[in-house]
Structure 1
Amino acid sequence: MTQNNVIVGFMETTQTGASHPSQQEWAQQLRLNGRRVTKQRLAVLDAVEAMPHATADDTVRQVRQVLPKISVQSVYVVLADLTTIGMVSKFEPPGSPARYETRTGDNHHHAYCINCGMIEDVACAVGDTPCLTPSEDHGMKLLSAEVVYRGICPQCQEDMTNGTTAK
């Protein structure tokens, strides 16, 4: 599937029961998107896959377990490039740094706990891109909609009921 002449990733990797893509699958996707297969790109993909909804700094820490000398800037550049080619998606919860995940191409949304910051994936409200029909499209061919549901997660609700606070 293409979007703006970029091949969009086909794996929904953060869904329950989804298998972890192999290095060969990551390499194939990189090549299909016109990118060289490098240990830095593979390490960032593995880190984002292992920690869905992680910040760039979280990703740096995870990647450094495999590539201890990689620079922060290198991880940021790889994340930006992987986002550009659609192998990684980026979203920005309110009041929080950008988050990254390998679940792409399905236009899912996110539920964000305003108390503890927990983030959960939410399937598309309608099932068709762009999920929401705007009152005006201004002549644009709309490709996606970004929705962040803000709320209070079950654990924080329980903590509030019991008079305790989130960690």
Structure 2
Amino acid sequence: METTVQAAPHPSRDAWTSHLRSHGRRVTKQRLAVLDAVSAVPHATAEDTVQQVRSVLPNMSVQSVYVVLADLAAIGMVSKFEPPGSPARYEIRTGDNHHHAYCVRCGVVQDVPCAVGHAPCLTPSQDHGFELLAAEVVYRGVCPRCQEELAASATEAR
């Protein structure tokens, strides 16, 4: 899996510890290992995260990683997004209402700043009485590398 490099600095262990405790969570080696894994590989799938975590905690179960990811997403320490036709992806970058560009050919993901203005970025024509908090946008397309490969294949075919 290919992903973008995260622009934001790696949060400190102290910040993670403080955030966990402020939400009534214990600071465990499992939670810290999952946070480290998601921080190291932005836009990783849960399975990618399992592989990263198991390099540090070889006996951590797949189910435990999924449970920790869900809990960290619930308390706002990781964000989860689901590109079309792809497993959910996780990242440490939260709270800024950024969006994603997703290559439908190779699956590469790039962060995209807020589309226009302040959160929730996009104003719907009808909000149905909701107090809108965020907008999620996934731009689907073909990344530059895949475009080059497609152009090269087309040239070879001629």
After TM superposition, the score normalised by the length of structure 2 is: 0.91
The aligned runs of 1:115-126 (5 Å cut-off) are 115-126=105-116
2:14 equivalent to 1:24: yes
* Matched residue, 2:137: 147
Provide the secondary structure at the position in 1 that maps to 2:66: helix
The aligned runs of 1:39-78 (5 Å cut-off) are 39-78=29-68
Unaligned runs of 5+ in 2: none
Percent identity between the two aligned chains: 72
Following the alignment from structure 2 to structure 1, what is the Cα–Cα distance between the partners of residues 48 and 144?
24
Q: Kindly state the Cα deviation for residue 14 of structure 1 after the two structures are TM-superposed.
A: 2.3
Residue 6 of structure 2 aligns with an amino acid whose one-letter code is: T
Residue 148 of structure 2 aligns with an amino acid whose one-letter code is: E
* Matched residue, 2:89: 99
Residue 14 of structure 1 aligns with an amino acid whose one-letter code is: Q
- In the TM superposition, structure 1's runs of 4+ consecutive aligned residues that sit over 4 Å from their partners are none
How large is the RMSD of aligned CA atoms in angstroms? 1.3
Provide the secondary structure at the position in 2 that maps to 1:161: helix
- Higher relative helix content: 2
Deviates more, 1:21-30 or 1:126-135: 21-30
Unaligned runs of 5+ in 1: 1-12
Q: Kindly state the Cα deviation for residue 33 of structure 1 after the two structures are TM-superposed.
A: 2.0
Following the alignment from structure 2 to structure 1, what is the Cα–Cα distance between the partners of residues 11 and 134?
25
Q: Kindly state the Cα deviation for residue 125 of structure 1 after the two structures are TM-superposed.
A: 0.8
